[in-house]
Amino acid sequence: MRMLAPSLRWIALAGAVASVTVTSSAHADPGAEVTAASATPAEDTTVRAPRATSRWYGWQTLATDGAAIALAGLSMASDGSTSSAIFGASALGTYVLGGPTVHAAHGRWGAAAGSLALRVVTPVAGALVGGLVGSTSNTNGWDGLANGALGMALGFFLGTGVASALDSAALSHEKTDEPPKDEDAPRAARPAPVRLVPLVSLTPEGGNGQAPGARGLVGVGATF
């Protein structure tokens, strides 16, 4: 019976001692001989530079042109010659210098020069073309001169409208550095998935007059 005791004891312990444990990898059983650790994804620390974008501020040049139109309307509605002249000069000055002033306020001196040239050359060219077309439509004395003057006026106002539209649409764009959006920011590391690993431990026993044997432990651990 004593000779069978160690064998029976081992069979009983190996078959009966079985446990299922869920523990983190930092608190796994020290006696476990089979372990596994899940790799934690590295956090993205890439520094992303701001993206260069274009911002339109043409509404500001259109606002100055609207003010010029309002002053021109006051000039035509004024009864006195002095007040009419003052409003008329103010309207012309606001139209010619309003757009370039807006560009200069944004630090875009090249666009300011282009706006000034556009606002001077285009109305003058329109007036010349309109006067030429009007005067050639009727060459009979005063009628030809009247048609030429009407053509110059129409060409001038058409030229101011074209210059205002081109200034707002083509010249009123500035480059800006836009900070990265939320989707471009580095993403935090995702939690590692839970993984089950088998745990096996054999602990020798015996001594002090006791029969030699071993204690077996079979379990399941989790890493996360």
Q: Are residues 67 and 93 in the same domain?
A: yes
Q: Are residues 27 and 65 in the same domain?
A: no
Structural domain containing residue 217: 13-33+192-224
Using a CB cutoff of 8 Å and minimum separation of 24, what contacts does 127-135 make? 127/152, 127/153, 127/155, 127/156, 127/159, 128/152, 128/155, 129/155, 130/154, 130/155, 130/156, 130/158, 131/155
Q: Are residues 99 and 159 in the same domain?
A: yes
Average pLDDT for 3-17: 40
Total of domains in the chain:
2
Instruction: Kindly report the pTM of this predicted structure.
Output: 0.57
Q: Are residues 168 and 206 in the same domain?
A: no
Q: Are residues 102 and 156 in the same domain?
A: yes
What pLDDT shows up at residue 80? 78
Q: Residue 7 pLDDT > 60, yes or no?
A: no
What pLDDT shows up at residue 22? 33
Q: Are residues 68 and 149 in the same domain?
A: yes
Q: Is residue 2 part of a domain?
A: no
What pLDDT shows up at residue 14? 39
Supply the mean pLDDT for the chain: 75
Average pLDDT for 129-140: 82
| Least confident piece of the model among 2-6, 24-28, 113-117, 182-186 | 24-28
pLDDT tens sequence across 163-202 = 999 999 999 999 887 665 655 545 554 556 767 667 666 6
Q: Is the C-alpha dihedral spanning 177, 179, 183, 189 positive or negative?
A: positive
What pLDDT shows up at residue 218? 66
What pLDDT shows up at residue 137? 74
Q: Is residue 221 part of a domain?
A: yes
What pLDDT shows up at residue 181? 60
What pLDDT shows up at residue 71? 96
The HSE-up count of residue 19 (CA atoms within 13 Å, CB side) is 12
